[in-house]
């Protein structure tokens, strides 16, 4: 009997942990495969650990371990050490999975011969969600907002530079190493870049289906993308290149806005007016495109410009801060070490 191990880090997920465990343990695997679920808990203090212990007591497929560093990459590596499967599937607590998610991962590995496979990143607001989360989900899915990232294209199957979550033969970790524990964010991008630079390949299959629940407030989105942007230069520093040129655009935009603002303070307002006007027009055009593609109601649609700007400017400002810190002393700030939700 072959074994597939699902690994997932978590901390203080009382509202979501039961639904996640039920979804993960309900995965339908092909004949001859057994399932293991390893959850690395970051010392939860909201009742999550008690719920996990109760489930583990009644289902031997579930193993719960500690992640005292409370960092995703550390939790993933701790779970990897406990996982006994020949194939490793990473899952996220805030994502819902089709019952054949893991089976389709296995099929994609066999068909592609890739070193990592995954499905598209599909954001969807929760049932009864407010207008902000509906706008966040719609903007997230737009290729214009995401810079053309293949991972947001729900119909795309093919070779990619990175993939949502991931599924690996154990041999991939033996060949390319485990997750970088110095990265609070972007450890998946860094690992995929390491695979690509090491001669490996990454495949996306549109048949691997899941639904991600995005942040529900504008401030949460801004903080999330500030962190994403902040840790990106540390990835670039390790490899001497970005995973994709699209990752550099938001930082360039924010840098240009800052320089234009300084020029305005010096008595030359026209660069700021011109750049601000061009970006504002671009955001409005993106918002119109997102609304047409998603059929958002008016309440959610009016929030799109602010949501799109939060994605871009949060990521860009984070990139510049991360670039400064990576060049100055090569380590991240403690305030960016706490995950946001």
From CA 243, how far away is CA 135, in angstroms rounded?
Answer: 27
Which of the four pLDDT bands, split at 50, 70 and 90, describes residue 294? confident
Q: How far is C-alpha 311 from the chain's CA centre?
A: 13
In the structure encoding, which two tokens stand for residue 144, read together? 């214009």
Burial 122-136 (b: 16+ CB within 10 A, else e): bbbbeeebebbbbbb
From CA 338, how far away is CA 283, in angstroms rounded?
Answer: 30
Which of 254, 232, 263 has its CA nearest to residue 314?
Answer: 254
Given CA atoms 280, 282, 287, 288 in this order, what sign does their dihedral have? positive
The per-residue pLDDT for 334 is: 63
In the chain, what percentage of residues exceed pLDDT 90?
67
Reported as a single tens digit per residue, the pLDDT across 103-145 is: 999 999 999 999 999 999 999 988 888 999 999 999 998 877 7
The per-residue pLDDT for 338 is: 55
The per-residue pLDDT for 284 is: 95
Residue given tokens 């978590």 in the structure block: 10
From CA 288, how far away is CA 168, in angstroms rounded?
Answer: 39
Tell me the CA distances in angstroms from 184 to 23, 72, 139, 198, 312, one per residue in order: 26, 7, 24, 23, 20
For the chain, the domains span: 2-215, 238-336
The per-residue pLDDT for 166 is: 95
Reported as a single tens digit per residue, the pLDDT across 305-322 is: 999 999 999 999 999 998
Name the superfamily (CATH) of residues 2-215: Spore Coat Polysaccharide Biosynthesis Protein SpsA; Chain A (3.90.550.10)
Using DSSP's 3-state secondary structure scheme, residue 236 falls into helix
The larger pLDDT score, comparing residue 297 to residue 326, is at 297
In the structure encoding, which two tokens stand for residue 291, read together? 């609304």
In this structure, of 12-26, 87-101, 109-123, 178-192, the range with the lowest mean pLDDT score is 178-192
Tell me the CA distances in angstroms from 266 to 204, 257, 262, 269, 270, one per residue in order: 49, 14, 6, 8, 11
The per-residue pLDDT for 172 is: 96
- Tell me what the mean pLDDT of segment 164-193 comes to: 90
Tell me the CA distances in angstroms from 1 to 29, 37, 124, one per residue in order: 12, 16, 36
| Consecutive H or E run containing 197 | helix 187-197
- Tell me what the mean pLDDT of segment 284-288 comes to: 94
- Tell me what the mean pLDDT of segment 53-58 comes to: 92
Reported as a single tens digit per residue, the pLDDT across 226-276 is: 988 888 887 777 766 665 667 788 989 999 999 999 999 988 999 999 999
From CA 163, how far away is CA 105, in angstroms rounded?
Answer: 12
Model pTM score: 0.84
Confidence check: pLDDT of 341 > 60 = no
Q: How far is C-alpha 41 from the chain's CA centre?
A: 19
- Tell me what the mean pLDDT of segment 36-44 comes to: 95
Q: Find out whether 145 and 139 touch, Cβ atoms under 8 Å.
A: yes
The per-residue pLDDT for 167 is: 98
Q: What is the DSSP letter of 177?
A: -
The per-residue pLDDT for 298 is: 93
The per-residue pLDDT for 242 is: 60
């Amino acid at each position: 009997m072959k074994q597939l191990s699902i690994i997932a880090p978590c901390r203080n997920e009382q509202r979501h942990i039961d639904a996640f465990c039920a979804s993960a343990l309900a995965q339908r695997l092909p004949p001859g495969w057994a399932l293991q679920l390893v959850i690395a808990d970051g010392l939860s203090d909201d009742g999550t650990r008690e719920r996990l212990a109760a489930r583990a007591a009644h289902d031997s497929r579930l193993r719960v371990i500690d992640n005292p560093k409370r960092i995703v990459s550390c939790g993933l590596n701790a779970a990897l050490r406990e996982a006994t499967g020949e194939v490793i599937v990473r899952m996220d607590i805030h994502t819902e999975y089709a019952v054949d998610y893991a089976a389709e991962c296995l099929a994609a590995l066999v068909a592609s011969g890739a070193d990592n496979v995954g499905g598209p990143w599909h954001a969807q607001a929760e049932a009864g969600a407010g207008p902000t989360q509906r706008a966040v989900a719609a903007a997230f899915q737009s290729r214009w907002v995401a810079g053309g990232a293949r991972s947001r294209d729900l119909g795309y199957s093919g070779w990619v530079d990175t993939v949502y979550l991931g599924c690996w033969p154990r041999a991939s970790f033996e060949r390319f190493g485990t997750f970088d524990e110095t990265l609070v964010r972007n450890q998946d991008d860094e690992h995929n870049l390491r695979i690509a630079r090491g001669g490996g390949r990454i495949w996306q299959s549109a048949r691997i289906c899941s639904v991600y629940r995005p942040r529900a407030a504008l401030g949460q989105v801004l903080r999330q993308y500030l962190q994403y942007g902040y840790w990106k230069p540390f990835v670039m520093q390790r490899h001497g290149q970005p995973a994709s040129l699209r990752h550099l655009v938001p930082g360039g935009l924010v840098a240009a806005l800052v320089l234009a603002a300084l020029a305005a303070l010096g008595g030359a307002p026209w660069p700021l007016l011109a750049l601000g006007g061009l970006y504002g027009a671009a955001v409005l055009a993106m918002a119109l495109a997102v609304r047409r593609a998603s059929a958002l109601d008016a309440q959610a649609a009016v929030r799109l410009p602010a949501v799109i700007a939060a994605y871009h400017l949060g990521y860009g400002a984070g990139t510049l801060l991360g670039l400064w810190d990576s060049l100055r002393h090569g380590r991240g700030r403690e305030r960016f070490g706490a995950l946001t939700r």
